[in-house]
Amino acid sequence: MPMKPSPFRYAALVAAVLLLGISGRVPDAAAQQAQRNPAEQPRIIAEEAGVQTLQTTARQAIIVDYQTDTVLFEKNADERMPPSSMSKIMTAYLVFKEIKEGRLSLTDTLPVSEKAWRMQGSKMFVPLGGRVTVEDLLRGMIIQSGNDACIVLAEGIAGSEEAFAERMNEEARRLGLKDSNFRNASGWPDPDHYMTARDLAILAKRLIDDFPEFYKYYSEKSFTYGVDSKGTPIRQGNRNPLLYKNTGADGIKTGHTEAAGYGLTASAVRDGRRIIMVLNGMPSMRNRAEESERLLDWAYREFGTYGLFKAGQVVETADVWLGDKPTVQLVAPKDVLVTMPRRARAQMKVTVVYDAPVPAPFTKGTELGKLIVTAPGIQTVEVPLVADSDVNQLGFTGRIGAAIGYLIWGAERK
């Protein structure tokens, strides 16, 4: 009978990765109990890493690293709030989806109903009884925050604004928004129309991920449509204050109602790194402009995202038990990125954990171990490690020989 392999062996990663501290120690209990798929849920940065304590006038707020979904800061992020015109991100998402799936085009024209023409609040001034191209309506909604444009789009796609709102709710469920409900396409005040800051951050990321070809509209600073009573073209500017400063911002949407206060869902890129930020409940436009710039600067200054391994890169070579190959390489199935406070970088530890020797047979892509990343102020990050090739089990004679060799020489003999 072949001897069973030793039940557990922890193999330590010896080489330094990107000049970071790498440890071969056995992970502690907290590390072993970490969730198996941390990327599925945002990770919250703790204060013990020495990050400057942050205060904000926003009633609700969340700041998220786009690549890793790491939450850098949050305040009442799961509290229901009136999203006001930030609701239009979902309206745009549905319009983009219609275009991408071939049911609508940018050059299509949609009719302007009396309801749309009479709509109050911010407007792009669509003409009663006229027709407007989808692209103009999108710019009117995104840049000018036109409530009238929202209704024209909603009626053109779903027949009525009420039916379109139902589609918004269906899409919210599909996207995993856990506490959002829509009653109209514009964010017009309604007690049953609400979102959370976290849901808005999720929606913003999906907008960028799913429709990069349309995201360009959000960085446009002005749009001219129609003429006033004197025949002068009506030019309106984008209300996003970050677009007018050297912040790296390229979107996304402001909002304001008396109940909601002043809000902003923003995204910015600096040195290839994108951050998403949602703020709401600020007391004035000026405060929104100052606070959004200050918090964005804080996020980039205090945190960094670091690449440890590329997809397919070998992390460890593991011994194989009773296989037709003596070893197998453990690789990362995707890029391994970690976001953490910059001050914690030098204390980051990366450990490889797997059962050794690995029993054959197994196929390429089989998860055989995990990479554990720890550092002060972050939740433990676990990433699966997979086999880079198939390994078959030895035949009967080979297994007998391997078992005898193991009895005589032990697991270290190659």
For residues 228 and 212, what is the distance between their CA atoms, to the nearest angstrom? 34
Asked whether residue 78 falls in the same domain as residue 195, the answer is yes
CATH number of the domain that 169 lies in? 3.40.710.10
Whether 193 and 275 map to the same domain: the answer is yes
pLDDT at 128: 97
Q: Are residues 142 and 254 in the same domain?
A: yes
In whole angstroms, how far apart are CA 339 and each of 140, 202, 273, 295? 36, 18, 11, 17
Residues 122, 197 within the same domain:
yes
| Final residue belonging to a domain, choices 248, 282, 316 | 282
Question: Would you say residue 17 lies in a domain?
Answer: no
Confidence at 251, pLDDT banded by 50, 70, 90: very high
Q: Which two tokens stand for residue 141?
A: 């909604």
407 pLDDT tier (thresholds 50, 70, 90): low
Percent of the chain at pLDDT above 70?
A: 83
What value does the mean pLDDT take over residues 208-223? 98
Residue 52 falls inside a structural domain: no
Q: Are residues 73 and 104 in the same domain?
A: yes
Q: Are residues 91 and 197 in the same domain?
A: yes
- Residue 148 backbone phi and psi in degrees, to 5: -65, -40
- Residue 222 is which amino acid? S
**Does residue 3 lie in a domain region?**
no
Q: Say which amino acid occupies 358.
A: V
The pLDDT of residue 379: 86
Residue 45: the pLDDT is: 52
Q: What percent of the chain has pLDDT over 90?
A: 80
Whether the predicted pLDDT of 242 surpasses 50: yes
Q: For residue 53, what pLDDT is reported?
A: 75
Has 85 been annotated as catalytic? yes
Alpha-helix runs per DSSP H in 12-68: 29-32
69 located within any domain: yes
Q: Is 362 in the same domain as 246?
A: no
- For residue 12, tell me if it sits in a domain: no
Look at residues 44, 46, 91, 81 and name the one whose alpha carbon lies nearest to residue 63. 44
Give the active site residue among 84, 87, 88, 180. 88
pTM (predicted TM-score): 0.84
Residue 118 lies inside a defined structural domain of this protein: yes
pLDDT tens column, 171-210: 999 999 999 999 999 999 999 999 999 999 999 999 999 9
pLDDT digits 0-9 by tens, 19-72: 333 333 233 333 333 333 333 333 445 444 556 679 999 999 999 999 999 999
Q: Which domain holds residue 358?
A: 29-40+307-409
Closest alpha carbon to 151 in 181, 125, 117:
117
Q: pLDDT per residue over 289-321, tens digit each?
A: 999 999 999 999 999 999 999 999 999 999 999
Alpha carbons within 13 angstroms on the beta-carbon side of residue 394 total: 17
Asked if residue 119 lies in contact with residue 158, where contact means CB atoms within 8 angstroms, the answer is no
Q: CA 248, CA 271: separation in Å to the nearest integer? A: 9
In this structure, the answer to whether residues 341 and 264 fall within a common structural domain is no
Q: Is 4 a catalytic residue?
A: no
Distance CA 172, CA 380 (A): 30
Tokens (6 digits) for 304: 């960094």
H or E element, residue 111: strand 109-111
Tokens (6 digits) for 97: 């989806």
CA atoms within 13 A on the CB side of 199: 26
The 10s digit of each residue's pLDDT in 382-398 is: 999 999 999 999 876 76
Q: Note whether 257 and 316 are same-domain residues.
A: no
How crowded is residue 141: how many other Cβ atoms within 10 Å of its Cβ?
29
Active site residue 178: no
User: Tens digits of per-residue pLDDT, 124-162?
Assistant: 999 999 999 999 999 999 999 999 999 999 999 999 999
Q: What is the mean pLDDT of the chain?
A: 88
Q: Is 36 left (phi over 0), alpha (psi -120 to 50) or beta?
A: alpha
Are both 252 and 200 inside the same structural domain? yes
Verify cis geometry, omega within 30 degrees of 0, for the bond prior to 157: no
Nearest-5° angle of CA 68, CA 73, CA 79? Answer: 105
Number of domains making up the chain: 2
Secondary structure element (H or E) that encloses residue 300, with its range: helix 285-302
Specify if 168 maps to a domain. yes
pLDDT band at 11 (very low <50, low <70, confident <90, very high): very low
Domain membership flag for residue 119: yes
Catalytic residue among 145, 186, 267, 292: 145
